[in-house]
Structure 1
Amino acid sequence: MKTASAFHFESLVWDWPIAVYLFLIGISAGLVVIAVLLRQYYPNAASSESTLMRTTLLLAPSTIVIGLLILILHLTRPWTFWKLMFHYSPTSVMSMGVMLFQVYMAVLVIWLAKIFEKEVIALQHRWLPKLTIIPRLLTLLNKVMRTLDITMLVLAVLLGAYTGFLLSALKSYPFLNNPLLPALFLFSGISSGIAVSLIAIALRYRKNIHNQESAFLHRVESFVVWLELFLLAAFFVGLALGDDGKVRSLVAALGGGFWTWWFWIGVIGIGFIIPLALKKWQNRGNGAFRVLLVSGASLLGVFLLRFFVLYAGQLTVA
């Protein structure tokens, strides 16, 4: 008989690789959302020289690829995953998610190629000089770039929310079967995207971290953080006012024990209190260390939130 622990218990189906997968997908969606917003409100700052755009170029596709690899390898029969890529079922959340990933990645590649048009053309001239169709295709995108931005934003929002839908579809777990979970995961993903971007700016500029990009990110961050807290509170209130299964799941998650401490110290303490308490201190300095500390705490908080929701959510079965 196996000994139960915080990370191994009888009702556990999805374990830590899924939490990492959820975290990585959130970063990708979050980066794209704020990158599109930057392009809309500060188009001059959203060039290929932008740290946010460069971070999006590097991490938005790679986190998706790594996340999907983790998910595939975690399946009982990973070699059958290819079937989901070509056989769609409108009644399957997983199948619809695979379709969303495919569309998201296709549009993301086109969108990024247009933003980094000069760099793409330079690479084409160097490595594929005969493929002259690439510059012509990129030029054609000029007429539809705004539509492409909006499409990319919609897809990123859907992707960020999808990770929550994936868990909320588990009806046998009262904690996870919550309509607020997609919104919570969406905005916590945006928060992680902001944190990653601020860290990238700090690492790039070191002693001159206050610029138009960082100012924009801080403004968005202030709104997102408080919205996250509201959604968390509403999430737990919904459980408290729910049926017996939801109340039991709330007590199991926050009524004491390992995951209760994980939530209050990790998610709330590290993820919210430290960034909020040190925000003014961070803004008074010009060095990278302050940003790395505050944004690092925020990013870690999102990571810990994914673990908390996944594990605490599986403690109680309906």
Structure 2
Amino acid sequence: MQEELFTSGRHIPNIDPYLQIWHWPISVYLFLGGLSAGILFFASLFYILGKEKEYPTAIKIATVIPPIALSLGLLALVYDLTHKLYTWQLYMTFRIESPMSWGAWVLLAVTPLSFVWTFSYYREAFPKLEQKFQVFKKFKFLNTVEKFAQENRIYMAYALIPLTLVLGVYTGILLSAFNARPLWNNAILGPLFLVSGLSTGAAAVILLSKNTAEKHMFGKIDLGLIIIELALIVHMIMGFYAGSQVQLEAVQLLVQGEFTLMFFGFVVILGLIIPALLELMELTGRKVPVIVPALLVLLGGLIFRFVMVDAGQLTRYLY
């Protein structure tokens, strides 16, 4: 028999508040959800504004990412669940006070809409692919489905704008709803994750676009979003410093702790400040390979989710 001597009641797993059960699939899921929300938001917005010809990548081509990203994100989420076979029970009820319930139902609406939106542009955006596989020739009924989707694009666009905004905010509120985790429990996290998701969506459009005017426009959008994101991060940190001792200790993980290099080095500097400077240089007429700031924004957005998920689980209220 093995004896254990407890000299303190603190930091004992399963006795003290203990939560280190969310791993990399959750971070990936939050990133892919925010990325999809950003792309679909811009596609819907510019479609409603009648900018189909000016911004074809945003509306027709980049939207191929959300159906794949959302599917992979949901697979990552289910993979991380302990009781995978009970996932369907989320859809047996709706709890207005539960962010997870909101997220489940919003994803149920956004995911099929993203597939229908992409399908409505399939032949127009990817003609070579259709010539090779001849899907519409083999399956005649798809012509009717395509016609229905095209005729109802405007309704999908109006539905997707609020749905994608809720999806983007939800990825942050999912964490901030944990009152027992001081690093997560702040009101800035929802808007911060939304702006970050919109920024990664704009970066994806820049990465895929071959239209100079479109790249220029989304460079402006992304620059504005980066400035807002930096302001929200500063506001979040200032809020922690104005809080209780527990909140002060929580923010130390980001400011002068084990996550400082990842947060300030990879997220703030490499993922926000440097892309902002490069995009500003490009907008002022200097030749900058747009692929560089776009990739840095995407990388920074992904690392940001990993940092917040991992660091948040280490913080707790002990007094």
TM value normalised by structure 2: 0.82
Larger mean CA deviation between 212-221 and 227-236 belongs to 212-221
Aligned to 2:294: 295
Once the two structures are superposed, residues 195-227 of structure 1 have per-residue CA deviations (whole angstroms, 9 ceiling, x without a partner) of 1111112xxx4xxx52x3212211211211111
Aligned to 1:250: 251
Larger mean CA deviation between 273-282 and 227-236 belongs to 273-282
Match of 2:30 among 19, 22, 32: 22
For residues 30 and 222 of structure 1, do their structure 2 counterparts lie closer, same or farther at Cα, with a shift above 3 Å needed?
same
Higher relative contact order (CA 8 A, sep 6+): 1
Counterpart of 1:215, as a letter, is H
Aligned to 2:145: 134
Q: Distance in 2 between matches of 1:263 and 1:281?
A: 24
Q: Distance in 2 between matches of 1:78 and 1:217?
A: 39
Aligned to 2:194: 186
Contact 1:168/1:177 (<8 A) preserved: yes
Match of 2:110 among 101, 104, 128: 104
Q: Distance in 2 between matches of 1:295 and 1:132?
A: 36
Q: Distance in 2 between matches of 1:101 and 1:279?
A: 32
Helix, strand or coil at the partner of 2:250: helix
For residues 60 and 186 of structure 1, do their structure 2 counterparts lie closer, same or farther at Cα, with a shift above 3 Å needed?
same
Larger Rg: 2
Helix, strand or coil at the partner of 1:236: helix
For residues 174 and 213 of structure 1, do their structure 2 counterparts lie closer, same or farther at Cα, with a shift above 3 Å needed?
same
Q: Distance in 1 between matches of 2:307 and 2:314?
A: 11
Larger mean CA deviation between 148-157 and 10-19 belongs to 10-19
Matched, 1:225 2:226: yes
Matched, 1:65 2:71: yes
Task: Give ranges in structure 1 of 5+ residues lacking alignment.
Answer: 5-9
For residues 139 and 297 of structure 1, do their structure 2 counterparts lie closer, same or farther at Cα, with a shift above 3 Å needed?
closer
RMSD over aligned Cα atoms: 2.8
Matched, 1:149 2:157: yes
For residues 96 and 45 of structure 1, do their structure 2 counterparts lie closer, same or farther at Cα, with a shift above 3 Å needed?
same
Match of 1:52 among 48, 52, 58: 58
Of all paired residues, the percent bearing the same amino acid is 27
Q: Measure how far apart 1:38 and its partner are.
A: 2.5
Larger mean CA deviation between 130-139 and 56-65 belongs to 130-139
Aligned to 1:7: none
Contact 1:29/1:189 (<8 A) preserved: yes
Contact 1:161/1:186 (<8 A) preserved: yes
Helix, strand or coil at the partner of 1:170: coil
Counterpart of 1:268, as a letter, is V
Helix, strand or coil at the partner of 2:259: helix
Once the two structures are superposed, residues 78-100 of structure 1 have per-residue CA deviations (whole angstroms, 9 ceiling, x without a partner) of 12212223444334322221111
Aligned to 2:14: none
Q: Distance in 2 between matches of 1:77 and 1:186?
A: 29
Once the two structures are superposed, residues 138-168 of structure 1 have per-residue CA deviations (whole angstroms, 9 ceiling, x without a partner) of 4652xxx444322111111110111111101
Match of 2:207 among 192, 199, 203: 199
Aligned to 2:15: none
Once the two structures are superposed, residues 52-96 of structure 1 have per-residue CA deviations (whole angstroms, 9 ceiling, x without a partner) of 234433211111110010010111121221222344433432222
Aligned to 1:314: 313
Helix, strand or coil at the partner of 1:278: helix
For residues 64 and 132 of structure 1, do their structure 2 counterparts lie closer, same or farther at Cα, with a shift above 3 Å needed?
closer
Q: Measure how far apart 1:282 and its partner are.
A: 4.0
Matched, 1:160 2:168: yes
Q: Distance in 2 between matches of 1:116 and 1:266?
A: 36
Q: Distance in 2 between matches of 1:249 and 1:40?
A: 43
Aligned to 2:90: 84
Helix, strand or coil at the partner of 1:43: coil
Q: Measure how far apart 1:12 and its partner are.
A: 2.2
Contact 2:183/2:251 (<8 A) preserved: yes
Q: Distance in 2 between matches of 1:140 and 1:296?
A: 35
Q: Measure how far apart 1:313 and its partner are.
A: 1.8
Q: Distance in 2 between matches of 1:130 and 1:33?
A: 29
Matched, 1:239 2:240: yes
Q: Distance in 2 between matches of 1:304 and 1:130?
A: 43
For residues 117 and 265 of structure 1, do their structure 2 counterparts lie closer, same or farther at Cα, with a shift above 3 Å needed?
same
Larger mean CA deviation between 93-102 and 112-121 belongs to 112-121
Task: Work out the number of aligned pairs and report it.
Answer: 296
Q: Distance in 2 between matches of 1:135 and 1:303?
A: 34
Q: Distance in 1 between matches of 2:196 and 2:119?
A: 27
Task: Give ranges in structure 2 of 5+ residues lacking alignment.
Answer: 5-10, 12-17
For residues 139 and 148 of structure 1, do their structure 2 counterparts lie closer, same or farther at Cα, with a shift above 3 Å needed?
closer
